[in-house]
Amino acid sequence: MTPLVLGVGNDWRGDDAAGLEVARLLRSTTPPVARIVEYEGEPSGLIDEWQGAGDVVLVDAVSSGAPPGTVHRLDPLGGPLPHDLFRASTHHLGVAEAVELARALERLPSRLALYGIEGRDFDAGAALGPEVRSAVYQVAGEIAEQLRS
């Protein structure tokens, strides 16, 4: 099965574009060994996106109060996600809630890894911060390495 990388975010909300930027970077630098999706829709739609996928990597911006650019590596299959990481979402249902909904519906992929990139500025019209941009390159590099092996 082809691996799936889902970069989640909003291009118009500063650091919230981190997941989208990871997806773009992977698409431009990685051989086509995975399906790479830039996802800007409602997080509940992620359940349909990963339907039938084996290995799924999900990347999103988070806001926990950690320093900007901090990379959180989470195993959603190991237990519930900390909801306070995803409090910057403008959606009614955030990524953590979408994962928990999928868990309740028994629709989680067989393998799921989640990278949360800590943001600072989620204001409309803001640019991606330098610490977040650096983390985007770090996460894209880690995922690219996983895809090659």
For the segment 59-88, what is each residue's pLDDT rounded down to a tens digit? 999 999 999 999 999 999 998 887 677 655
Tell me what pLDDT residue 87 has.
Answer: 57
Residue 91 above 70 pLDDT? no
- Averaged pLDDT, 110-134: 96
Q: What topology is assigned to 4-148 in CATH?
A: Rossmann fold (3.40.50)
Burial class (CB within 10 angstroms; exposed 0-12, middle 13-18, buried 19+) of 65? exposed
For the segment 9-64, what is each residue's pLDDT rounded down to a tens digit? 999 999 999 999 999 999 998 778 899 999 998 888 999 999 988 899 999 999 99
123-142: burial string, b at 16+ Cβ within 10 Å, e else = eeebebbebbbebbeebbeb
